[in-house]
Amino acid sequence: MALHRFGAMSNRIRRALYKSLFGVVLVLVVYWLYPFEIIRSQIEDLAFERFNQSHLNQTEKATNSPMVIILSIDDGYLKRNRLEKYGYLFPRDHLARIINGVDKRQKKLQQTGDGIGGLLLDYDLEYSTLPYGQALSTQDEEFIRTLDHPRTYPLLIPKLGGPSRLAKEGVASHSRLVSVNLLRDKDGAARRWQPYFEQEGRTYLYGPLWLWLRHQQPECMNTLEQPLPHPSATSLVVCGRTFIAQDLIQYRIIYRDWKAYDVNTPWRENYWERLISVSADQLDSLTDETLRSAFLLVGADHK
């Protein structure tokens, strides 16, 4: 009887090992062959999306990231500022006001401790707000003057691949051009982020990655403030880390859903434990401790 049970157990262990080996081989095959669209789309993407869907409403424990706060241009912000029909380009003077609000809060924070970790504007700033982009509007000029103020936190501006006249004229030593590119598959879905891209001899690092490296490796701050090295054909080395141009696994986006609104708080929590969203004109509702070392992102979240 004992030998029979031992044999059955051995068979189960053997089957488990075979399954594990098969899984490892499958992962390696997918990893090696994912550039072929049918492999990537029919196997890897499908499995990853099933994983994402099953984990949307599961609380993810705190990572080694600081708090991430989205300053949201939401329906409430648009209504309060009478901007329900602002058109394609968000008014630059309102972006300037948001930055000025962050500057004001930063001064208060630094009177008693650390300030914020950085601010990223997730808005298209490639062109002026005037037709055909041939001249700068009054709003553009106000925005540029705001960018050109010295500040004690990094202000990141998107580099999207266009002429960047507005960003070029406004970005001085107090701001930094970064990438906000996501890798879109042939079906149009964005499942991965792009660590960097190169244009006209300059390398632009992905904005959130730039902030994360600056936070994790303070000794690397001078490197990040200078023009980045040119990448090789397939990778970029920054701060002692190697980033491959396109990686199937490393740059996947793991989504989490937003929790229901709490009527007692002006902010909204995500199932990622250190991610919240607050209307861009409600920054003062957040405590000093919430804002210290936090990464702030200004972006659209309206219908």
DSSP string, 79-115: HHTT-TT--SSPPHHHHHHHHHHHHHHHHHHHTTS--
Question: For residue 187, what are its two tokens?
Answer: 């079906």
Given this model, what pLDDT does residue 72 score?
93
Given this model, what pLDDT does residue 127 score?
77
CA 48, CA 76: separation in Å to the nearest integer? 34
Given this model, what pLDDT does residue 210 score?
92
Q: Residues 276, 70: contact at Cβ < 8 Å? A: yes
Question: For residue 236, what are its two tokens?
Answer: 């970029």
pLDDT tens per residue, range 148-157: 888 999 999 8
Single pTM value for the model: 0.78
Average pLDDT over residues 141-146: 88
Task: For residue 52, count other CB atoms closer than 10 A to its CB.
Answer: 15
Q: Residues 228, 205: contact at Cβ < 8 Å? A: yes
pLDDT over 50 (residue 224): yes
Given this model, what pLDDT does residue 170 score?
47
CA 283, CA 265: separation in Å to the nearest integer? 12
Given this model, what pLDDT does residue 6 score?
46
Highest mean pLDDT among 110-124, 155-169, 184-198, 252-266: 110-124
Q: Residues 167, 157: contact at Cβ < 8 Å? A: yes
Q: How confident is the model at residue 8 (pLDDT cuts 50, 70, 90)?
A: low
Q: How confident is the model at residue 121 (pLDDT cuts 50, 70, 90)?
A: very high
pLDDT over 90 (residue 21): no
- Comparing 257 with 242, the larger pLDDT belongs to 242
Given this model, what pLDDT does residue 3 score?
46
